[in-house]
A and B are shown apart, each in its own frame.
Chain A
């Protein structure tokens, strides 16, 4: 009984607690925004883990796909539901924003998944280090093309998303952003968990072990790679969309290779091929960033230094390739998350 329903009980109560405390303003805006960034970071690190951990490729352009998702969902949201200097009057009645918001974020994710083809198609022939370059190039191409579209602000950025959130809060006065960040974070982990434990997931780990051998064993490697890259970048797009709506402002400068490196750090801190590791390290990393904030720029000396030291003594990350249930087998009696 407990094993079957514990996750179903814990997650809604955790979410409910979060939403309640946000509604009653128990947490304060700063803590709340840190919690929301934690959610976004969980989405980013676990989705990158699909490519870098489970599939064994070295993708370092994750922020580019995040950028596509962020821009598409913010442009769409502002065009439909907010009065803006670029688009003029809202296209639809702002009252509908409350229903359309998840779809806007999802469409951003789909757009990012299509951008993921930029990496997926070259990956049929190109491998290893060369593929790593392609992901870097994809990141630069995306950033640079958005900088060159002057009508949506170019490198100055784009804003107006707060008004969409505002019109959602006019209809029902709930903390909408924490709610959606929580739902999408749990959804992302659920989708990834389902994906890696399905037959597709077995194919993906076969590619990680040996790509040629996998192909001989009748794994359709091209299909696997396309789906995995698109899923990973699509989820990154969802993360990016949420990121844009939390801040209320996007500019291409916040999705550069430095952001990609940040996500990479989270993946390797947690352990490749471990979803619970990714979640744990995303939480830890966000927390650490906030903790070290008083140090200013020294923060960015200390965090890489910690990672260098970790690579020397525990290169497989916090969790290694194992999940939470593998480390504490007794926990398995109390939960089941599929």
Chain B
């Protein structure tokens, strides 16, 4: 009993890591811009595909060994995915922001950009699934009936490290201070000499880079890629961010793990088709009881 619980806990931590990484991207952008970047799930998908091409290139064309290919793939994936995110911001969101358009129009634009990414991928690369090449050999450790792979450990460790780093960036550095300042008052911040657009670009670089990292790790753990993989995971990660209280980094991290744990536990004890049903019902109950999420703070509004 204890063994199966521990085994499920490890699975939940790994599964929750992906949600947490993507949710961090959602929450970063939301915290700064109060914009739900609905294209983020699809940026994750693009990240996975970029990782696929980078890894295949490094393995076959350059003929590198697994570890060297991985070392090359990680920065390439993160940089290219970050560029995709920044491009979206430059082309689609910034002109709208300059015009002072209603927030809703930006949300619609984001939703549509997600659809464009998804379907242009489908149109260019075709509907066939891609198999991700193996970069590093899977090592399986047995610790008293519980099996752990090196990939499990890597995913959980990397996610935790990223979270700690991000938390430090947001709370300790000047860039992080500027980010928090923008979320308080978007109009006063440029008057204080803070370059608003640069800070927003940095936010998108961070968020999309993390999505790229998540895409790479996801592709390594579940090596089948398809154009719609980002949609469902993206929506769920968004839900994780909201459950944690969107705009709060700790909330996104914990929300991701919470959603992962709920899903894995449901699969462990119920038929697996009930996974979405129970996960979303839990979400509905949490939001009905705590309308601003676990870490969210209710804002007072003046009339």
Contact = CB atoms under 8 A, between A and B. Distances in A.
A147 interface: yes
B242 A144 contact: no
Contact of A133 (B101, B109, B281, B287): B287
Interface residues of A, number: 43
Give the interface size class of chain B. Answer: 35 or more
Nearest to B235: A136
Contact of B274 (A121, A125, A148, A268): A148
B216 interface: no
Contacts of B19: none
B167 interface: no
B274 A130 contact: no
B249 interface: no
A145 B116 contact: no
B238 interface: yes
A305 interface: yes
B27 to A, nearest CB: 12
A138 B284 contact: yes
Interface stretch (A26-34, A187-195, A295-303): A295-303
B119 interface: yes
Given A257-B235, A297-B122, A301-B120, A308 B112 contact: yes
A24 interface: no
Contacts, number: 118
B74 interface: no
A144 B280 contact: yes
A133 B112 contact: no
B239 A129 contact: no
Residue with the highest number of chain B CB atoms closer than 10 Å, among A296, A300, A301? A301
B287 A134 contact: yes
Contacts of A336: none
Interface in A131-190: 132-134, 136-138, 140-141, 143-145, 147-148
Residue with the highest number of chain A CB atoms closer than 10 Å, among B108, B109, B283? B108
A213 B302 CA distance: 10
A264 interface: yes
Nearest to B92: A308
A195 B109 CA distance: 30
Interface of A: 58, 118, 121-122, 125-127, 129-130, 132-134, 136-138, 140-141, 143-145, 147-148, 210, 212-213, 216, 257, 261, 264-265, 268, 296-298, 300-301, 304-305, 307-308, 311-312, 315
17 contacts: A118-B284, A122-B284, A129-B30, A130-B242, A134-B287, A136-B235, A141-B284, A143-B276, A148-B271, A148-B273, A212-B301, A257-B231, A257-B235, A261-B115, A307-B108, A311-B101, A315-B96
Given A122-B291, A134-B288, A144-B280, 17 more contacts: A58-B107, A118-B284, A121-B288, A126-B287, A127-B291, A129-B246, A130-B242, A133-B287, A138-B284, A140-B235, A140-B280, A144-B277, A148-B273, A301-B116, A301-B119, A301-B123, A308-B109
